[in-house]
Amino acid sequence: MEVIRSNFKDNLNKVYEAIEESDFLAIDGEFSGISDGPSVSALTNGFDTPEERYQKLKKHSMDFLLFQFGLCTFKYDHTEEKYIMKSFNFYIFPKPFNRSSPDVKFVCQSSSIDFLANQGFDFNKVFRNGIPYLNQEEERQLREQYDEKRSQANGAGSLAYFSPNATKCPVTIPEDQKKFIEKVVEQIEDLLKNEEKESLELEPCTGYPKGIHVETLESDKKERYIVISKVNEEERKRREQQKQAKEQEELNDAVGFSRVVHAIANSGKLVIGHNMLLDVMHTIHQFYCPLPDDLSEFKEVTSCVFPRLLDTKLMASTQPFKEIINNTSLAELEKRLKEVPFSPPKVESAEGFPSYDTASEQLHEAGYDAYITGLCFISMANFLGSFLSPPKNHVSARSELIEPFFNKLFLMRVMDIPYLNLEGPDLQPKRDHVLHVTFPKEWKTSDLYQLFSAFGNIQVSWIDDTSAFVSLSQPEQVQIAVNTSRYAESYRIQTYAEYIEKKHEEKQAKRKCTEDSWKEMERKRLKTQCTPYVSPTRYYCVNSFTGTSTVGKRSMSPIQEETGSDDMEEGDGQDSEYDQTDYCVESLPDGKKRAKKFKKIKTEQVPAGSLTSSSTGIFEVPETW
Amino acid sequence: MEVIRSNFKDNLNKVYEAIEESDFLAIDGEFSGISDGPSVSALTNGFDTPEERYQKLKKHSMDFLLFQFGLCTFKYDHTEEKYIMKSFNFYIFPKPFNRSSPDVKFVCQSSSIDFLANQGFDFNKVFRNGIPYLNQEEERQLREQYDEKRSQANGAGSLAYFSPNATKCPVTIPEDQKKFIEKVVEQIEDLLKNEEKESLELEPCTGYPKGIHVETLESDKKERYIVISKVNEEERKRREQQKQAKEQEELNDAVGFSRVVHAIANSGKLVIGHNMLLDVMHTIHQFYCPLPDDLSEFKEVTSCVFPRLLDTKLMASTQPFKEIINNTSLAELEKRLKEVPFSPPKVESAEGFPSYDTASEQLHEAGYDAYITGLCFISMANFLGSFLSPPKNHVSARSELIEPFFNKLFLMRVMDIPYLNLEGPDLQPKRDHVLHVTFPKEWKTSDLYQLFSAFGNIQVSWIDDTSAFVSLSQPEQVQIAVNTSRYAESYRIQTYAEYIEKKHEEKQAKRKCTEDSWKEMERKRLKTQCTPYVSPTRYYCVNSFTGTSTVGKRSMSPIQEETGSDDMEEGDGQDSEYDQTDYCVESLPDGKKRAKKFKKIKTEQVPAGSLTSSSTGIFEVPETW
């Protein structure tokens, strides 16, 4: 179902209902771009730490607009033994709702826009008819504006309506405006005397009348003017209430699509995505709050907004799937999961909802991608049931069999850290076979192969034009390589550990310089100004949700009772290159051995996160991927 | 006429012809936004210097995309005594043309997008079917790439085709790829032996064959593969030439819309715009080179790209029009110029070109706005003819009557500097009645009125939340105001001169700090790297134009022989607020007096630029506007 600005309000309850009744949800986003800085390959270096990856995506991917949001809800019908799904495809656009509302600027990346254009994406629908939204802080500010206006209106018996930014102290009327004010006062006095006239339309200004109703309206041309009407106390109150209800509705309209995200968050339902790190980051950034500076804070915020996540790309890249699934891009995964040993899930569209035909539909429509993601999850979950004795055909979204995959988001192209662990510290693989090499910008991969030709097989991960990580097959050779480079002039080699340490030092130095320069500026500025400067942008922490949705509230603290061990995520494959070179997993399954191993440990519970504990999990997390 | 990617090449000669035959051109651009920083009112402070205004627009307006370019050519038919016009409406989009082409990122401002959406702007046409473009540096790089490829292909007798980024030295084949290479060599040898096979399609790789033709093709799925064919020397040469011609065409396609801008520049024709500073800046920035750092350099570049400009907003705001035209926004100006003492110009569409109906058409389609701008120019130019004895009905674009308006772009909302003078130094009005005031961010305009209530009428120009310029009616009071504020705690007052001096100092200090921090960084970085860092972005100077257009070339040095004195410009009114509060000129014409004054000085020539000289111009440039 297509949801745009004009049919959003009428369908919101349908959306709420679908979320509430569902067993799980699948989501997907389409963005106006992927990276406003380095190329995707530099953005996703094979030896990024989770912290580095988060920082890079935060810095280079958050200025784009999430302008299409796909939501697909799945509800299992036990008697019919099939899933009923409801698919929603939301078009999103931050249309300014009034003069003082935020005027959002977002970046578009030509290659992403061109890619979507080739898929038949309808940009006019986004820009002309996208649903607006507010993040939590913007919603709070707007609510405050309304409250302030209301308290001013109720205060002191008089009916003064100030514009939101007006001061409360009496205004000194400038000489040149006195005439105008006198004329207005005259007109109002005239209205009060005149029995036939019921209201009066003033030219733009602020009025101070008493015993009458004052309303600021906006003309078709967006010019604001004041309407003054004579009313008794009862009628005045009725109008006030009417006005208040209208304001609440305006507020809800402005919060717009964020209400859907609040409903998803408040439902506590399992949320499925494919390669979903960017989707999660964008959703939080756009509809909740600017992303926090630290990865650990991001994990906290995420656990509030999405208490249970599952990334189908991580799932497909993990045992027992890893060995029988070669290509984990969404399109290929969907095809693979239709074949043995998997079975295509039984899924039907709910009545009144359009159905998708997986044989003909276009990928990269968010609603469709969310639907496919859900199908993949069902197939893989059901496959896990085949290992049980007796085997089960249906594995529900609540089964402990899928818990190991919770809250771990696929880290694309990282060689030795499979996922971002939302429930604890991340894996810290030893990188004692990795070298950091800097060289002239003319160098190509072949130059590096030549340089290291004495060291057997190497693997090159480009960082930028003049540096790369080179991993050797034997860690013992690392020091030899560093030593031989000591007197080289055109290039320099250091160990991964040295590189990390220097990077840390530079960060500290940079921070210090910025502080120094800021202090200097501040000193100069204070000479000429009188109030200290306070940064207007501040991270706003999401702890409680304002109740704009109709669904039941629930605790938003990170869910402690649920543990798991095997998940990952990332960008949505909008950039075809993004999915093309997906992380390659080894193939060649050994069915028997795998099944045996699984049975042996399948009753154990898995503590979240740490490297040692996860290696004893139901489905193992390999130390190096 | 609508010009999009698919019909661009077919119509390019029509565009060239229209430009070449025209008497003058009118242009207009539509952008994806106006300001990515301060609000429009802060971006256009009443006491900006031309340098400040340029810097602000460069910093805050250039990351948007000029995505619709209107060009309207006007040719006078002396026998029919009417203009024949040809209007073109180009949709522009930087579609990446291959894998190594620039992936442009541009910003969208929600309010601007929403405004255009409400005007029925077709975003799908831009994103799906916009014409690509390259700036001069990108064009040069692409040309170099092709040249390099070609010289490699011709070199050493062998037919090695390297990918553009490959090194020239022999590649050491890694152990794990040897098998693959051996197999390819085998296949090629097999092809050479086999009489029946004529060509062979290889998996993606680089080949080293001899005596055969090698071609890299791209599949529908954008996968590249190699086709190897057996050909004799003659056939090989023919194919090479074919390939070269194809490459030239690809290059032309990539340069795309920039070819139209080159043709406009090379034509040397008078180019008309309304409030055109932003249009000019964007056109240069997008199709020629990143804007230079200094205003003086910008003036130089502009004189190369647009040797003769005329801004109808500046013209309408200048004597003799100033006194009889109240509102200079494009829509209002067009209406005003249909009435006495003006007469609507006789303009007809050329055969095969659609005509516009000024009574019903929508503004803010670039082609239509350009057309209206041309109409306004004709009306105003012809009006000047009425002052001649004997009066003339038609004043051509070559008449010296309009020269005073050349190369002066309207400076929007600047109180005392009417225009940016492209041909010399800008006006430097005394601002000895202006104060710079800093205060707590809670302060409103009314607080400032109160603070200065003892000083009579004042005028407030907000800079940001905590500062504003306040101009007093009497310069003598400036020092009194500064003195009385000496011990104030919550606010601070300084003279305009003091403010400018401190700002200059701060700029120097900031520059120093940035340099220091950069040196520190560099020191640290050099410890870990081996090649000095060279900034990849460098201002590329436009001096000669690469000959991609078919029209005649001309010298691009700043035109010295033409002088003038009365012009201005700015943003295109896409933001309705932008035009709403256009600079107000006094009305109440005194026809006779004006006419007399004009006649007295009309034969004098006016040297460009300086305040003293321009005050003796044909149409006076007032010292304060």
Structure confidence at residue A203 (pLDDT):
66
Confidence bin at B222 (pLDDT 50/70/90): low
Asked whether the whole model's pTM tops 0.80, one would answer: no
Tokens of A580: 């093309």
Structure confidence at residue A523 (pLDDT):
60
Residues of A in contact with B114 (CB under 8 A): 93, 95-96, 127
Cα–Cα dist B4/B367, whole Å: 13
pLDDT digit string, tens, across residues B61-116: 999 999 999 999 999 999 999 999 999 999 999 999 877 788 999 999 999 999 99
Tokens of A533: 């400067």
Nearest to A264 by CA among A9, A24, A68: A24
A540: helix, strand or coil: coil
Residues of B in contact with A176 (CB under 8 A): 457
DSSP string, B393-438: S---TT-GGGGGGBTEEE-TT-SS--EEETTSPPP----TTEEEEE
The letter for the amino acid at A315 is: M
Tokens of A287: 């509809």
DSSP string, B335-396: HHTTSTTS----EEEPTTSPPP-TTTPPTT-HHHHHHHHHHHHHHHHHHHHTTSSS--S---
Confidence bin at B444 (pLDDT 50/70/90): confident
pLDDT digit string, tens, across residues A534-580: 333 333 333 333 333 333 333 333 333 332 332 223 333 343 334 33
* Contact (CB<8Å) A528/B174: no
Mean pLDDT of B224-248: 82
Cα–Cα dist B545/B554, whole Å: 9
The letter for the amino acid at B610 is: S
Beta-carbon contacts below 8 Å between A and B: 195
Structure confidence at residue A360 (pLDDT):
66
Structure confidence at residue B18 (pLDDT):
97
Segment among A132-141, B240-249, B455-464, B539-548 with least mean pLDDT: B539-548
Distance from CA of B105 to the nearest CA of A (A): 4
Q: Supply the ipTM of this predicted assembly.
A: 0.75
Distance from CA of B138 to the nearest CA of A (A): 16
Cα–Cα dist A68/A3, whole Å: 10
Structure confidence at residue B590 (pLDDT):
37
Please tell me whether the peptide bond between B390 and the residue prior to it is cis, using omega within 30 degrees of 0. yes
Structure confidence at residue A343 (pLDDT):
92
Tokens of A399: 């089964």
Bigger pLDDT: A427 or B542? A427
Structure confidence at residue B146 (pLDDT):
85
Cα–Cα dist B262/B550, whole Å: 10
pLDDT digit string, tens, across residues B374-399: 999 999 999 999 999 999 999 999 99
Confidence check: pLDDT of B537 > 60: no
Residues of B in contact with A531 (CB under 8 A): 439-441, 466, 490
* Contact (CB<8Å) B524/A530: no
* Contact (CB<8Å) B33/A453: no
Residues of chain A with pLDDT under 70: 153-174, 203-212, 221-222, 358-363, 513-625
Residues of B in contact with A444 (CB under 8 A): 165-167
Structure confidence at residue B153 (pLDDT):
63
pLDDT digit string, tens, across residues B312-343: 999 999 989 999 999 999 999 999 999 989 99
Q: For residue B504, what is the nearest residue in chain A, using CA coordinates?
A: A524
Residues of B in contact with A467 (CB under 8 A): 529
pLDDT digit string, tens, across residues B571-604: 333 433 343 333 322 222 333 333 333 333 333 3
* Contact (CB<8Å) A440/B531: yes
Confidence check: pLDDT of B540 > 90: no
